[in-house]
Structure 1
Amino acid sequence: MKKEIIPSILLSFICIILLSGIYPAIVWGIAQITPNKGEGIVIKEKGGRHFYENIGQNFSDDKYFWSRPSAVNYNAAGSGGSNKGPDNPEYLLLVQARIDSFMTHNPGVNRKDIPSDMVTASGSGLDPHISVEGAMVQVKRIAKVRSLDENRVSELVRAHIDAPMYGMGPKRINVLTLNLALDNIIAH
């Protein structure tokens, strides 16, 4: 019996030290080399409202750039994807409904021109970014709804393009900061 209990206790202590001490310290250390050192990025608006720039938010009004769909309804308390494969019938129906909705709200956009990030959720369901193409395909709708020149809205999109972190990955746009800048155009 000693032969089995002592190794079990030893393994438990090793796991406690590794998983409760060393591993969290490594993750914390890696976070320190990222922008904002792993902390949430808060945007404080003049009206007193607070937004988290690095958490996806639901924008579905036609006067705003839309966010990526979210499998968790933009609830930051629990991130996650739908866990449905690309050939799952329920998933395909959901994506088709998103495509139909996008095309209804963006007349003149061809199905083939809709970037995939506008109709599929990210792995976390909380991605605050969309592709440059995802923003540009919405310019016409926003310019029309807000009675703005399309070129002015396109310039705003180009001004909010974020370079890939550490030079890896695609260029992207933070939807929240873009929409706040869009509201500031109207305010000024």
Structure 2
Amino acid sequence: MSQLQVILASTRPGRVGLPVFNWFNAHAERHGAFEVDPVDLAELALPFMDEPKHPRLQQYEHQHTKDWSARVDAADAFVFVTPEYNHSFNAPLKNAIDFLHTEWAHKPVGFVSYGGIAAGTRAMQALKPVVGALRMTAVVEAVNIPFVAQFVGEDGEFRPNDVLDQAADAMLSELSRVEAALRSLRVSATTSAG
């Protein structure tokens, strides 16, 4: 079964992204198209980029980079669960992306964005040229959560409405379809590199 890596971008204490992340991981597991690998960037705790050589060379000196490389390389598709900070995505996500290069290529990515009235969509739009530069394929289907606090109960659990559940299903199905279509490119790239 293909592996979907779900990355929680927010590292802020008290972040509303954690309940969103937990809901989406459970939803993805129920959907059944992927084996789910959840990654919380707060727990991953990557330092700011500290590798002396360009990531495209894959000549990593630090164990945290080697571990992150292996984990991203093992994934077949991604979902970024991202807040919107000042009309864009946050620094920890950009840092995690920039640590690597080749490991992201020819893999689809979807977005779960959240925020206020704009539902985090400006962060999602800012991410699209970044993932495109890495040869990732952003799927059109997305989960955009407006006024996210309304979906989080007093117990801290995220309670989606039918629209959000349907959006998650549509995105997961499209990620599965696009992942299958891109698989031959990943195999070709691995073969030519070896």
After TM superposition, the score normalised by the length of structure 2 is 0.26
Query: Higher strand proportion, which one?
Result: 2
After TM superposition, the score normalised by the length of structure 1 is 0.27
Bigger RCO (CA 8 Å, 6+ sep):
2
